[in-house]
Chain A
Amino acid sequence: MKVYLYAMLKDYFDHEVWLQQPVHTIDELKEKLSAQNENARDLLDSCRFAVNDRFIDNNYIFQSHDVVSILPPASGG
């Protein structure tokens, strides 16, 4: 599963992360990434998640071909 991370998340991770082992839920994904970098845990909790350019909620079950975007709180303008 391919995961793209944006903005301040790139202080902790690469922009593009490829997950070999299956991850099924947003909570699992957050846990997996937080395990890689504990300092990113709070930020990940404040993020929105999208699959194929659509926002998903906590009930969403990932498919292996999903392209996931992790979006920190917006700060445009």
Chain B
Amino acid sequence: MMSSAFYHLPAVDEWRYITDEPINLAAVLSKAHRPGAGAVVLFSGETRDTSEGKAVWFLEYEAHPSMAAKMIRDILQEAIDRWGLHFAIAQHRTGVVNISDSAVVVVTGAPHRSEAYAANRFIIDKIKHEVPIWKCEHFTDGTKVWSEGCNHKEKVAAAEEVLSDSVNKF
């Protein structure tokens, strides 16, 4: 890994990035304050009650935990280095996630909001499209379907294009 002038994340602790316990957003946010971070952005991806017109009962996530944890750590470090963040936090659920519960949280802290927003968007897009985590939608009619995911290379390229556009506007 490249050395960085910015904050260095500790070695990979799997529980830090992948958890089968409910995500406590207030507890996560309470750790996300630094004197130099004038902007803190928290994104929570939460279970929606409908998917393509069908009523969702709950979501269930599966991960390759050791690979997913390492990849999330590397994505966070990349964002820290790229935007000069004071910190970056991300945690993704496995197991059952009920309606309105958080499946994934990303918190970024930077001196100003443009970096905090851009880095947060970068992190969640990369997690969604690259990290080996899979979503199974369970519907109220008793059926279930694995989300098909995406052609990760195309989606990430598209996301980075949007991102570079938004960065250029700042």
Contacts and interface: CB of A to CB of B under 8 A. Distances in A.
B134 A77 contact: no
A53 B70 CA distance: 9
Contacts of A76: 61, 63, 68, 92, 103-104, 127-128, 131, 133-135
Q: How large is the interface on B (under 10, 10 to 19, 20 to 34, 35 or more residues)?
A: 20 to 34
Candidate in A6, A7, A46, A74 with the most chain B CB atoms within 10 angstroms: A74
B165 interface: no
A14 B62 CA distance: 15
Contacts of B66: 53
Nearest to A4: B64
A50 B129 CA distance: 17
Interface in B72-102: 92
Nearest to A54: B67
A77 B135 CA distance: 8
Contacts of A59: none
27 contacts: A4-B64, A6-B134, A8-B134, A8-B146, A11-B146, A46-B151, A50-B67, A71-B64, A71-B67, A72-B134, A73-B148, A73-B149, A73-B152, A74-B128, A74-B129, A74-B131, A75-B134, A75-B148, A75-B149, A76-B103, A76-B104, A76-B128, A76-B133, A76-B134, A76-B135, A77-B103, A77-B133
Given A48-B132, A75-B134, A76-B63, 7 more contacts: A6-B132, A7-B146, A50-B67, A69-B67, A71-B132, A75-B135, A76-B135
Interface of A: 4, 6-8, 11, 46, 48, 50, 53, 69, 71-77
Interface of B: 45, 61-64, 66-68, 70, 92, 103-104, 124, 127-136, 146-152
